[in-house]
Amino acid sequence: MSRLSSKGAVALLALLGAGGLLVSGFRPWVTGAVDDAVLGATRISATGAEVAPGLSAVALSIAAAAIAAVAAGRIARVVALVAYAASVVIAVLLTARVLGDPEAVLGPVAASRVGRTGSIENVADPTVWPWVALAACAVALLGLVGAVLGLRVWGGPSSRYEVADAGAPVAGPRGERVASAWDELSAGRDPTDVGPDPRT
């Protein structure tokens, strides 16, 4: 479990899930046949982006929320995880809608291709790609579980590169107050100047 809740694992799972959703969205999700006065009897297919509009945006939001969750502070991390969870739920709902009623999502696509509104009657079946999208959602969900488990143990963002307080006292080797490099510069002295080399 500790490996699953590491920041690296969470980011990797989220990016894999989001990537799977993005890739599947450009593939045909539904294929079917229509018998229309304009289209005639013909076969038609539609991509995930057509039958599940917004899927690409949801995939990108999963990736962004996961990155924010592993990089932000505690409060922002909670907000990011809520956005992460909401995005995964939306992706699952979009995919389940296609799998549950492929004719309903293909009909409007067929109508739009002949410049009509509404829907055209059709017979349709989902391809393997909505199932790939569901698998990608499962991977992203696993990353979310890891993030929730790691929420309490993850530290905040690194302070390595933060600017230290210029006015804070600096302790010497015996605990005495010594001038900081900032104080030396303010006084017009070069803190890197250590004097003449005693060997010369």
- Whole-number Å distance between alpha carbons of 106 and 117: 13
CB contact at 8 A, 136 and 21 = yes
CB contact at 8 A, 28 and 50 = no
- Whole-number Å distance between alpha carbons of 7 and 69: 9
Q: Which amino acid is at 168?
A: A
Confidence of residue 187 (pLDDT cuts 50, 70, 90): confident
Confidence of residue 118 (pLDDT cuts 50, 70, 90): confident
- Whole-number Å distance between alpha carbons of 178 and 70: 38
Q: Residue ranges of the domains in the chain? A: 7-150, 164-195
Does pLDDT of 200 surpass 50?
Answer: yes
0.85 surpassed by pTM: no
